[in-house]
Structure 1
Amino acid sequence: MHREPAVAVVLPAYNEEATIRDTIQGFSAALPKARIVVIDNNSRDATAAVARETLLQLGADGLVISEVRQGKGNAVRRAFLEVDADIYILSDADLTYPPERAIDLLRPIIENRADMVVGDRHSGGEYARENKRSLHGFGNRLVQQLVNSLFNAKLVDIMSGYRAFSREFVKNYPILVEGFEVETDLTLHALHRRYRVMEVPIEYRDRPAGSVSKLNTVRDGAKVLFTIAQILRYYRPLFFFVLLAVCFSGLGLIAGYPVIDEYIQTQFVSRLPLAVLATGLQLVAVISLAIGLILDAVSHQQAFNYELGLLRYRKSAPSRP
C-alpha cells in the first residue's frame, strides 16, 4: 500500500513581516498536510514571531528555523540539511508566487515525471508587466540564453524562486552558493547532472504595498555577469580556457607582429620589451589551454563519481511513496 508523500514547504525569509502571515496561510490552505518551514535569515523585524504565531493559530505542522549566515543560499542549505520529506516546495515569502499553484508543481514529481519542477513566471506575461526592474529582466534573459546554449535546453525561467524537488534531488545537491544566485545554481546542477526538469506556467505579481525588495540593480547586475563567467568556468572549463587561450594568443600576435615584421626586414630586433610581452602572452595562452584540458578531465571524473554516488543512493534509499 502506497503512503501519501510527505511534503515540506520551505520559505526563506528576511524582513518579511508584512507578508509572511499571508504566505503561510496560503500554503497551509493549498497543502493542508504539508509541513511549513520558515527559515528566518537574520530578520530585523518581527518575521520570526509572526511566523510562529501564524503556525500556532492555524494548528499547522511547521517550524521556524534561524539561520545566522546571511544569504538565501545559506537559508536553503539549512532547510535541505535539517528537513526530511519526500517532496520539497521552495518559495519566497513575499507573496509574489501563488501558493494555490503548489499542487501543479507537485504533480509531476508525485507521478515520477520530473525531479525538479520550476514555476515559470514568463510564459503567462505577468512577470513582464509586474516586474518594474528592466535591467533584472535583461540579466535574466542573458543567463537564460547562455544556459540553454551550453546545455542544449529550452528553459524559459532560469531564475524562478518557486520550485518543487524530489527527495533524491535535494539529498544529492551540494549547495555551495550563499546568496540569491541559488536559483541559477539549482538549474545548473539539474542540467549538468541530467535530472529531469519541467516548467509549469504560473501567475506572478509584484510585492504588495509595505513589502520591500532586497534586490539591488547594480549589485545584482554585477552578480549576473560574475555568474555567467562562473557558469563557463565550472561547467564548461575546456570552452572557458580555450576562449582565454584564443584571446591571449590574439593579443600575443598583435604585440609580436611589429617585432616579426622588423626582424624579417632587418634581421634585427630593437623592440625587446614588445618581444618579451608577445612571448609572455603566447606562454599564457598555452598554459590556459593546458589548464582547460586538465580541468575538463577532472570534470569528467567528477561526473563519473557523482553517477556512482547516485546509484548507491538509489540502492539505499527507501522506495518512493
Structure 2
Amino acid sequence: MASFNTLSIVIPVYNEARTIHEILDRLRVLELTGGIGKEIILVDDCSQDGSSEAINRYAAQHPDMPLRLLRHAVNQGKGAALHTGIREATGEYVIVQDADLEYDPEEYNLLLKPILKGFADVVYGSRFMGGNPHRILFFWHSIGNKMLTFLSNMFTDLNLTDMETCYKLFRRDIIQGLKLEEKRFGFEPEVTAKVSRVPKVRIYEVGISYYGRTYAEGKKIGWRDGFRAIYCIIKYGLLRG
C-alpha cells in the first residue's frame, strides 16, 4: 500500500460567488481515505462578481480550514489559473476541482484507490464509464467529448474514455515537472499529451458521477473551445517537448 499525507486541491475560480460556498462546504466535511489531509488552493482569475470576497468571508467563518486564495490581477483563463495553483501546491498529489457543482468531491476516494494500492501515478475520472449517475444534457457535447478523446488517444496511444474530464489526479512531482502553456480550455489535451510521455508513467481511469450544468446555470465552455482542443491535440501530439 502506498501512503502520503496531503492532497492538494486546485480550484480555478471565475465569477462563482453564487455557488463557491457550496463546493467549499463539501470539501470542508470531506473525509479522505487513510486519513489523508487536504490543501485547498483557490485561484481567482480576476472575477467581477465578488468571488474573492465570498471566499474570504467563508475562510473567516472557518479558520481551521486549510484554504489558500490566490488572485490574478487580469483575467488569463482557466488553464492559467490551474498553472498558478499547481505551481503553489505542496501536497504529494494534486487534483483539479472546478468551482461549480458538476463533480462530487466525495468521489476523490475513488480516484485515490489505485494510487493507494500502489498501481498509479495519474488517475482520470471518467464520466463515460461505470454505473454512477450522470445528468442527461447535450447530445452534441457528449459526441464532441468522445471525438476529442478519440483524437487525443490516436496521438498519445492511450485508451482513455474521457480526456476532457475535470477530475485528474497527479503525483505532484509529475505535474509540476511538465511545461504547461495553454491558458484556457486547452489545458486538458495539453496535459494529457505531455503526461503520456512521462517515462514509465502509470495512468489509470475510474468511473465518476457527473452533475452537468446548462448555460443558464453558468456553464462556460463553448464550441470555440472545442476547435481549440482539436488544435491542441494535434499541436502537443506532434510537438515533442
TM-score, length-scaled by structure 1: 0.66
In the alignment, which residue of structure 2 is the partner of 1:47?
51
In the alignment, which residue of structure 1 is the partner of 2:71?
66
Which letter does structure 1 place at the counterpart of 2:82? V
List runs of 5+ in structure 2 lacking aligned partners.
none
Match of 1:227 among 224, 232, 241: 232
Q: Distance in 2 between matches of 1:45 and 1:146?
A: 37
Checking the alignment, whether the CA contact within 8 Å between 1:121 and 1:127 is kept in structure 2 is: no
Q: Distance in 2 between matches of 1:15 and 1:47?
A: 6
Which letter does structure 1 place at the counterpart of 2:14? Y
Residues 164 and 197 (structure 1), Cα distance of their counterparts in 2 relative to 1, 3 Å cut: same
Residues 125 and 230 (structure 1), Cα distance of their counterparts in 2 relative to 1, 3 Å cut: farther
Q: How far off is 1:124 after superposition?
A: 4.1
Q: Distance in 1 between matches of 2:227 and 2:214?
A: 27
* Structure whose residues are more often helix by fraction: 1
Q: Distance in 2 between matches of 1:78 and 1:34?
A: 18
Q: How far off is 1:157 after superposition?
A: 0.5
Which digits, 9 at most, give the CA deviation of each residue in 1:267-293, with x for residues without a partner?
xxxxxxxxxxxxxxxxxxxxxxxxxxx
Task: Give secondary structure in 1 for the equivalent of 2:70.
Answer: strand
List runs of 5+ in structure 1 lacking aligned partners.
235-298, 303-321
Match of 1:111 among 94, 101, 117: 117
Residues 230 and 4 (structure 1), Cα distance of their counterparts in 2 relative to 1, 3 Å cut: closer
Checking the alignment, whether the CA contact within 8 Å between 2:121 and 2:202 is kept in structure 1 is: yes
Which digits, 9 at most, give the CA deviation of each residue in 1:61-110, with x for residues without a partner?
11110023511111111112122111112111101000111122223223
Residues 175 and 232 (structure 1), Cα distance of their counterparts in 2 relative to 1, 3 Å cut: closer
**1:34-183 alignment, distance < 5 Å:** 34-58=38-62, 59-67=64-72, 68-124=74-130, 129-132=135-138, 134-183=139-188
In the alignment, which residue of structure 2 is the partner of 1:6?
6
Q: Distance in 1 between matches of 2:205 and 2:140?
A: 23
Q: Distance in 2 between matches of 1:127 and 1:223?
A: 29
TM-score, length-scaled by structure 2: 0.86
**Aligned-CA RMSD value:** 2.5
Checking the alignment, whether the CA contact within 8 Å between 1:24 and 1:55 is kept in structure 2 is: no
The structure whose RCO (Cα within 8 Å, separation 6+) is larger is: 2
Which letter does structure 2 place at the counterpart of 1:135? W
Q: What is the count of residue pairs matched by the alignment?
A: 233
In the alignment, which residue of structure 1 is the partner of 2:16?
16
Q: How far off is 1:150 after superposition?
A: 3.0
In the alignment, which residue of structure 2 is the partner of 1:202?
208
Checking the alignment, whether the CA contact within 8 Å between 1:20 and 1:93 is kept in structure 2 is: yes
Q: How far off is 1:125 after superposition?
A: 6.9
Larger radius of gyration: 1
Q: How far off is 1:232 after superposition?
A: 4.4
